[in-house]
């Protein structure tokens, strides 16, 4: 393994650490400000994370404003640690298992549509 490869792994590792901590913080804030019966925290981080990834790709990367290591830090690292498909899946299954079918399908719909909307809005705002 080359020094460059090790460096890349470290950038991803550090970004994921920051993303995970920021996810916990933002999800905690969202859950405290919305009713507890719906996973608003996960929805919030997935939508914000999708928009943020779009900003990184469609603004900074396409204009060559960030270095390849910083792109790894922000995209795979930070956004990967910040957004959470696994928690979304678990929370949706928990809603199904408690027969809250409407909330489960609402969670699926909102996460998919709003996350796609987040990255699409970034694309529209920042495409070259």
Q: Which residue has the higher pLDDT, 1 or 78?
A: 78
Per-residue pLDDT at 22 exceeds 90: yes
Query: What average pLDDT does this structure show over 55-83?
Result: 97
Per-residue pLDDT at 108 exceeds 90: yes
Going from N- to C-terminal start, the domains of the chain cover: 3-126
Query: What average pLDDT does this structure show over 11-35?
Result: 96
Q: Which of 31, 48, 43, 38 is nearest to 85 (CA)?
A: 43
pLDDT score for 107: 99
Per-residue pLDDT at 128 exceeds 90: no
pLDDT score for 1: 86
Share of the chain above pLDDT 70, in %: 100
Question: String of b and e for 88-117 (b: at least 16 CB within 10 Å)?
Answer: beebbeebeeeebeebbeebeebbeebbee
Per-residue pLDDT at 96 exceeds 80: yes
Query: What average pLDDT does this structure show over 50-62?
Result: 97
- Do the Cβ atoms of 49 and 79 come closer than 8 Å? yes
Stated as kind and residue range, the H or E segment containing 115 is: helix 101-126
Share of the chain above pLDDT 90, in %: 95
């Amino acid at each position: 393994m080359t020094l460059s490869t090790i460096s890349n792994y470290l950038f991803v590792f550090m970004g994921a650490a920051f993303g995970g901590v920021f996810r916990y913080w933002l999800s905690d804030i969202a859950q405290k400000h919305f009713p507890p019966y719906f996973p608003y925290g996960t929805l919030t981080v997935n939508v914000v994370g999708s928009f943020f990834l779009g900003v990184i790709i469609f603004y900074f990367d396409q204009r060559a404003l960030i270095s390849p290591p910083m792109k790894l830090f922000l995209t795979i690292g930070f956004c990967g640690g910040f957004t959470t498909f696994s928690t979304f899946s678990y929370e949706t299954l928990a809603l199904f298992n408690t027969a809250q079918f409407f909330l489960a399908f609402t969670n699926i719909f909102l996460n998919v549509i709003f996350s796609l909307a987040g990255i699409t809005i970034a694309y529209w705002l920042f495409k070259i």
